[in-house]
Every structure is written in structure tokens, then in C-alpha cells.
Amino acid sequence: MITLILTNGLCGFAQVTIEECQRRAQEHYPLVRQYVQIEEAEASRLANAGKGYLPQVKLSGNASYRSEVTRLPFDASQWGIPGLDIPALSKDQYALSLDALQVLWDGGEIKSGKESVRTAAQVERRRVAVGLYALYQQVNTAFFGVLLADAGLHQNKLLQEELARNYQRVQACVQHGISEETDLHVVRVEQLKAEQHATELAGVRAACIAILANLTGMEADETTDFVRPVLLPTVATSVSRPELSLYDAQIKNYEAENALVTAGLFPKFALFATGGYGKPGLNMLENRFAPYYIVGMKFEWNIGRFYTLKNRRKLIRNHIGQTEIQRELFLFNTRLDMIRKNKEIKQCAEQLKYDDEIIRLKTAIRKASEAKMTNGVLSVTELMRDLHAEQMAIQDKIRHEIAYMQALYDLKFTAGHTNE
């Protein structure tokens, strides 16, 4: 079991966990609002497609003047038949009609069209999910940056306290003639360096907090306590990234498109009705305005769609094949990345095994140097060198701890198990 020496940073009034930051980032990111737009667009397209089942009504009219009209090839008045009076049609003709068409069977084109709308909307939703998923990595980087800065500030505070004690110790040695005034300057320089480093760490922390605040919409400052993860995440070996769902959705969309192409090959049957008023009416021999109507069944079959059928299906198969290749390539690269992450985790774990012993030995050396300096057998410069070596060993462990936890969370992100 690896023992961590990290602290929770500054003891503020608010505590923030990495899981909370990730959740808030998903809710705050502007892209999340696109889900609503996708839902509304899908509902509108489905409603429009469903209108194909309703009667299609069309009102039309025309007025025309013709250079010639239908005439009998003989003069009816010469026949001498009583009542046989066929007037010539007027060259100006008028018509106003209301046409209604009710689909009986369309080969499943409307149904396939609605399914195509659903699968296209699902593709858009999956694409948004992929964009949102990238936030996890950004949150991880900023959050662990805060933890690293917090741990560094905590250790810097301990260093400044240690330097203050050494300053007093050297000051006493100067008073007893064991050390010189310049030895105090040596310690003071180290104090100034420590204060300078603290300012640098505070700046890094503020920058990381600003990034988190922008990503999550949360208010945070120097008093906010960013809690390091207590339970280390489970290492996953399977891949469950949202990109895979996107590829699957794209393939389903292409399959729906193929079904729509197939539905368009079938003949269509419909009932139709036409009611109108015109001059002439249906009786072309009556040169007057008259109402009329026509009802019946209609049959249509667009044979021309067979001309492009082969190429259209070939293009769809090509799109599906390209998507499957992209999916395989993504899995290949993701698994390679997981191998690198696992090696990084193992490397950090191995380094942590030695850190405690290195710190113990460096601390012992520093304490021995303090005793020697007090007795006048070791210079202050040499003491500061040993103190610096001890601090470097402690900072190395801090970096290894943070790197270890971040590598575990990066592996979770890479594998797609951020919710576990």
C-alpha cells in the first residue's frame, strides 16, 4: 500500500472534489445546450415526415385563351335533326379545382424517412457527447495542477519554518563567534528563494483555479479546499469511449439511409379526388360554367430510381466501411495509449517505493549537518546544500504522488470509465 503525504491544501470554507468539478463542467459547458436544439429539430422533422400520411390538398386555377378549340368535322345544322344544336366552344376558358390525394401505400418510404431522422439526430447527440467528454481531461489537468500547487505550498511553508529555525541557530552561532555574519546572509538568501517559490506556486494555483472556474462555472478562490481523491480509481482494461457510440450511430444512420433507398423502389398507391368549377366543365360540348368532380385510385412507380440504385447502395456501403475503419483505428490508438498509461502508473508506483527511504536518509543527513554546523565543524553553505537536497527529495515524492493519481484518472478517461 502506497502511503501518500499530500495535504488537502488550504483549510477554506468550501471543499471541492474532482468528481464534482467534472459533473459541473458537463452541466456548464455551452455545448450541452445543443441537446435541446437537436431534440427540437428532430421533433419538427418527425412531425413533417408524419404529415405524409395526411391527405395532400391542393387548390389550383387557371384562365387561358386558345388559338383553336375542339370543333365537329361537319355542320350539324345541315342534318336537319330537331334539337341537334352544338354550339362552338369559346376560346377563353377558365378552371378552378381542389385536388386531394390520400396515400394508401408508399412502400414504407415515410416510415423509413422517419427512422432516418431519428438516427441522424442520434448521430448529432453522440457527437455532442464526444465534445463534452473532452472536458474530463481538461478538468483533470487543472484539478491536479491545483493539488500539486497546494502540496508544494504546504511543503514550502514547512521549509520556511525550518529556515527560520536555522536562521536563529546561525544567529546564535554568530553571537558566540562560531559563525560569521555572512553565514546569516546565506540562510537569508534561501529564505528569499523559498518566499519567491511560494509566490510562483500561488500563481500556478490561481491559474489552475481560474481554468476550473471557467470550465465549471463554480466560484473558487484561495480559501477553497480542493480535496485529493481518497479512493484510488479502479484500473480498467476495456474501452467504453463515447466515440464508439458515435461510430455505431453513424453506421445505423447509413443503414437507415439504405432502407429509405429501398423503400423508394416500390410503387405507390393513393386515392384521389378532384372537385372543380370551370368553363367548360367535364362536358366539353357545353360552352358554359359548370361544377364537376372526379374520384379514383392512383398508381405511380418511378422506374428511374433503378438507374442509380447500384451506385447509391455502393456509396452507402463505402460510408459504412469507412466508419468501421475509423472505429478500428480509434480502438487501436486508444489501446496503445492505455498501454502507455499503464506503464506510467507502474513507473510512478515504483518511484514511490523509494521516496520514503530517500527522504528518511536525507532528513538524517540534514539533522547531522545542523549538529555539525552548531559545533563549528560544518559551514552554513554545506548545511543549506543538505537542506536543499532534503527538500528536493520531498518535492519529488509530491510530484510522484500527484503524477500517480493523475495517471490513474487519465487512464480512466482514455478507457472511457470516468463514471466508475
The whole-chain average pLDDT of the chain stands at 87
Taking CA 208 as the corner, what is the angle to CA 155 and CA 144, rounded to the nearest 5 degrees? Answer: 60
| Per-residue pLDDT, 89 | 74
State the average pLDDT over residues 189-212.
93
Look at phi and psi of residue 214 and say left if phi exceeds 0, alpha if psi is from -120 to 50, else beta.
Answer: alpha
**559551514: which residue's cell?**
379
Domains of the chain as residue ranges with CATH = 15-54+111-270+307-415 (1.20.1600.10)
Give the span between the Cα atoms of 126 and 420, in whole angstroms. 20
Phi, psi dihedral angles at 105 (to 5 degrees): -155, 125
Q: Amino acid identity of 404? A: Y
How sure is the predictor about 419, in pLDDT bands with cuts at 50, 70 and 90? confident
Percent of the chain whose predicted confidence (pLDDT) is above 90? 62
- Summarised one tens digit per residue, pLDDT across range 71-125 is 666 555 565 555 556 667 788 888 999 999 999 999 999 999 999 999 999 999 9
Residue 299 CB contacts under 8 Å (≥ 6 apart), including other chains? 267, 268, 269
**Integer CA distances (angstroms), 5 to 155, 342, 358, 363, 367, in order:** 10, 23, 14, 15, 20
Query: For residue 99, what is the DSSP state?
Result: E
**Integer CA distances (angstroms), 278 to 59, 93, 95, 281, 286, in order:** 13, 8, 4, 5, 11
| Per-residue pLDDT, 233 | 58
pTM (two decimals): 0.81
State the average pLDDT over residues 367-391.
87
How sure is the predictor about 234, in pLDDT bands with cuts at 50, 70 and 90? low
State the average pLDDT over residues 33-42.
94
State the average pLDDT over residues 399-420.
88
Segments of 143-267 assigned E as strands: 225-226
Per-residue cell: 353? 517505493
| Per-residue pLDDT, 207 | 93
State the average pLDDT over residues 188-217.
92
- Summarised one tens digit per residue, pLDDT across range 360-374 is 999 999 899 888 888
Taking CA 34 as the corner, what is the angle to CA 30 and CA 38, rounded to the nearest 5 degrees? Answer: 175
Give the span between the Cα atoms of 373 and 369, in whole angstroms. 6
